[in-house]
Amino acid sequence: MTQSKPITLAITGASGAPYGFALLKFLLQQGQKIDLVLSENATKVAKHELGLELYGELEQRKSQILNYVGTGSSLRGTLVTKQSSFGTPSPNPSPRQTSISSKIEEKKLELKRKRELKNKYKQGLSYDLNEATPTTTSPSYSQSSHQASATSHELTLWAADDITASIASGSYKSQGMIIAPCSMGSIANIAAGTSNNLIARAADVCLKERRKLVLMARETPLSSIHLTNMLKLSEMGAIVLPASPGFYKKPQSIDDMVKFVCGKALDVFGIENENFNRWDQARQSPSYANV
């Protein structure tokens, strides 16, 4: 059943993009409402580790993400063909042409967002007392409306620099937040309370509102700085969940190991899942009969 409160899912630039997108796929399949935010480096890692190239406006990127997680049962989705300016697929562009075009498009959109943010800072948000939410002049990058997919799930994609996003406010009700994977840089920012981007701010909101905050830490080996920051966040109420798959279920693929870690994160939120065999199930298998 669709939960009334959404879950915030953030994907940072640490190695481990399969964790974040596997979680996204599962949650959407379960009818969960998701507020998704990707750091700039997360898009680079997704391209390198998953072959997923994200470009264009937020709405276009959301369609690309939904297409990726919605195709097939494995983590390998199919990519959306880049559209030409006339709305028709480009005739088999080379990887180099696609890469250069997407970079140019990204730079244009980045400049556009910066101009819009600058104007917002100057003008401020205008409120209409007859409306429940503040009115803004630039919905193109905040994308506040939910878009239903073919499976009736709801996904909202936020820009990492959008300080007007709903998840940046404690008054916005949510079940909590999962950062998968969570880089050590993000952990440091959250521990320091910098709120220097939407991911750090949304995490800060979860801490102050005493909501669940799961940090799927991805780094090895860990320095004393890393350990100190994680201890600090754990004492604040965050749950540090390292991307450490178990092997008692005898995983047969990378997909099995990814599902194990994702299943542990889902357990924190009380979301039923069969992503991995529980210890009782594993202990009863023939291979453990003589242990």
What pLDDT is recorded for position 110?
A: 72
Q: Is the dihedral of CA 250, 252, 256, 261 positive or negative?
A: positive
Query: What average pLDDT does the structure give for the chain?
Result: 78
Side-chain half-sphere CA neighbours of 284 within 13 A: 4
What pLDDT is recorded for position 116?
A: 66
Tens of pLDDT, residues 37-58:
999 999 999 999 999 999 999 9
What pLDDT is recorded for position 130?
A: 40
What pLDDT is recorded for position 117?
A: 61
Instruction: Give CA–CA dist 159/40, Å, rounded.
Output: 9
Tens of pLDDT, residues 245-274:
988 878 899 999 999 999 999 999 988 877
Tens of pLDDT, residues 8-38:
999 999 999 999 999 999 999 888 999 999 9
What pLDDT is recorded for position 75?
A: 39
Write the CB contacts of 151 (distance below 8 Å, at least 6 apart in sequence).
28, 29, 31, 70
Per-residue pLDDT band for 77 (boundaries 50, 70, 90) equals very low
64 compared with 124, residue with greater pLDDT: 64
What pLDDT is recorded for position 163?
A: 86
- Which of 23-32, 145-154, 161-170, 258-267 is the least confident region? 145-154
Burial status of residue 269 (CB atoms within 10 A of its CB: 0-12, 13-18, 19 or more): middle
- The DSSP bridge partners found for residue 176 are 7, 212
Burial status of residue 75 (CB atoms within 10 A of its CB: 0-12, 13-18, 19 or more): buried
Per-residue pLDDT band for 284 (boundaries 50, 70, 90) equals low
Tens of pLDDT, residues 83-129:
322 233 344 445 555 566 666 777 777 777 766 665 554 444 433 33
What pLDDT is recorded for position 165?
A: 95
Phi-psi region of 266 (alpha: psi -120 to 50; beta: other; left: phi over 0): alpha
Q: Are the beta carbons of 229 and 184 closer than 8 angstroms? A: yes
User: Rounded mean pLDDT of 80-85?
Assistant: 28
DSSP the chain: ---SS-EEEEE-SSS-HHHHHHHHHHHHHTT-EEEEEE-HHHHHHHHHHH-----SSHHHHHHHHHHHHTSSSSS---PPPPB-TTSSB-SS--HHHHHHHHHHHHHHHHHHHHHHHHHHHHH--B--TTSSS-B-S-HHHH--S-EE-TTS-EEEEE-TT-TTSGGGSTTS--SEEEEEEE-HHHHHHHHHT---SHHHHHHHHHHHTT-EEEEEE--SSPPHHHHHHHHHHHHHT-EE-------TT---SHHHHHHHHHHHHHHHTT----SS--HHHHHTSGGGTT-
Instruction: Give CA–CA dist 33/36, Å, rounded.
Output: 10
